[in-house]
Amino acid sequence: MKFTNKQYVRWDDLDAMGHVNHAKYLTFAQEARFAMLGIFDMVVARAEADYKAPIAEGNIFIDVSMWVESIGTSSFILVYEVSNNGVLCSRIKTVQVSVTEDTKSSRPLSELQREVLSKYLESQ
């Protein structure tokens, strides 16, 4: 199952070239991730983004669809698709690592986390 979140593109998300700055796409992914998994104590261990089409206007809402690609012992991979009016603008992938609240060191995913992540697993 995919999770879809609406993100607002502000006028200051646009750069001098008149399109959304590349770094803002990771912010869109972060906001969608928080909407989907806000209860998780996790860090981003890796992020990669492929840009497919520009978003060349502000004051609009875009869609960020995301799902879980895989689940490991203490980490999981999320895939995001940022689209504007049905046009794929970016595909992003992040590796998330579950961490302890106090020391921020990695720890195995809890059963609750695995249950939530499994709902969005790509193969289902």
DSSP-derived 3-state class of residue 118: helix
What is the reported pLDDT for 15?
93
CATH code assigned at 36:
3.10.129.10
Residue 47: both structure tokens together: 């992020």
Q: Is residue 101 part of a domain?
A: yes
Check whether 72 has a pLDDT greater than 90: yes
Mean pLDDT in residue range 7-13: 95
Alpha-carbon distance of 5 to 34, in angstroms, equals 10
pTM of the model: 0.94
What is the reported pLDDT for 123?
66
Check whether 101 has a pLDDT greater than 90: no
Residue 24: both structure tokens together: 């803002």
In tens, the pLDDT along 36-63 reads 998 789 999 999 999 999 999 999 999 9
What is the reported pLDDT for 39?
73
Q: Is residue 114 part of a domain?
A: yes
Using alpha carbons, list the distances in angstroms from residue 50 to 82, 90, 93, 96. 10, 6, 9, 18
Check whether 98 has a pLDDT greater than 90: yes
Alpha-carbon distance of 93 to 96, in angstroms, equals 10
Which domain range does residue 69 map to? Answer: 3-119
What is the reported pLDDT for 104?
85
- Which amino acid, 20? V
Q: Is residue 124 part of a domain?
A: no
Mean pLDDT in residue range 18-40: 94
Number of domains in the chain: 1
Higher pLDDT, residue 20 or 104: 20
Mean pLDDT in residue range 55-76: 97
Q: Is residue 90 part of a domain?
A: yes
Residue 107: both structure tokens together: 């720890």
What is the reported pLDDT for 11?
92
